[in-house]
Structure 1
Amino acid sequence: MTSPHDPADSLDLLTAALRRDAADLDTYAQVLTTTLADALPPGSVTITRKRAMADRLAGREGRVTHVEVALGEQRLVLDLAAGRPEALLCREVRGVVLSRRPVPLDEWLRELATSLTTRAASDTRARAALERLLLDE
């Protein structure tokens, strides 16, 4: 049995937490974007929303349709506009995208969890945001 502080266990828990609400895309996008916004520095996460007239009248932000997470040379892209998530892993250097690779959602989540876990190891704010995500059942 591994210890509760085993990095592999933490990564598995985070991946499971990020995957938890994936069946309901609207809820999933809301949880994911809130967690990312709390865990990463400003400007690292770009969120595109579609606001229907009902959203505007009710003062809601609208439905998340696109999420981009920039982590160093890695850019993780999640497109939710088509009704099912389409995930891309991109490598970007000095603003130029050198490669784009479509991946299954599970692989995208694993990459995101790995990056967030690495960041949380040296960033108190990121660690606190991830702990909230893991404890939110």
Structure 2
Amino acid sequence: MDVELLAAALRRDTADLEMYAKVLSVTLADSLPRGAVQVERKRTMADRVAGREGAVSSLDVALGEQRLGLRLDRGRISGEVCKEVRGIVLSRQQVGLDEWIAALARALAATAESSARAREALERFLEI
């Protein structure tokens, strides 16, 4: 799995952060095993009345011993890369969006190397 190609696919359309988080959350949730992606949304009253799901406020991706979190708050984005073993966080690092994307690409590539199912899912993701 080419990490650079994967990182480029993850970087596309980062200009609109809210739209990026929405697209990324949907594509990752569709591509990875159930439970690997957790998405939290903020719903305004207008969202509730209109039946919309609301804007993505956070995205957590768990791949092996790595947990990657992305938080959006009023147009600002922050990333976090954690090493977690059996539910215990051993290290936590705050990172910018580009570094978060690179870490996610490396984790996805490592997962694809160890699992044929994950590899197929990532190939589907790259086609999107």
TM-score of the superposition, structure 1-length normalised? 0.82
Contact 2:47 2:54 in 1 (8 A): yes
SS of corresponding position for 1:85: strand
Contact 1:66 1:78 in 2 (8 A): yes
**Could you say if the C-alpha distance between residues 105 and 90 of structure 1 is closer, same or farther in structure 2, counting changes exceeding 3 Å?**
same
Q: Which residue of 2 aligns with 1:123?
A: 116
User: Deviation at 1:134?
Assistant: 2.9
Aligned pair count reads 127
The reply to whether residue 49 of structure 1 matches residue 41 of structure 2 is: yes
RMSD of aligned Cα (Å): 1.7
For 1:114 and 1:31, how far apart are their aligned partners in 2?
A: 20
- Which of the pair has more CA radius of gyration? 1
| Structure 1: gaps (5+ residues) | 1-6
| Structure 2: gaps (5+ residues) | none
- Structure 1 or 2: larger strand share? 2
- Runs of 4 or more, structure 1, over 2 Å off, are 117-124, 126-136
For 1:133 and 1:108, how far apart are their aligned partners in 2?
A: 18
Q: Which residue of 2 aligns with 1:89?
A: 81
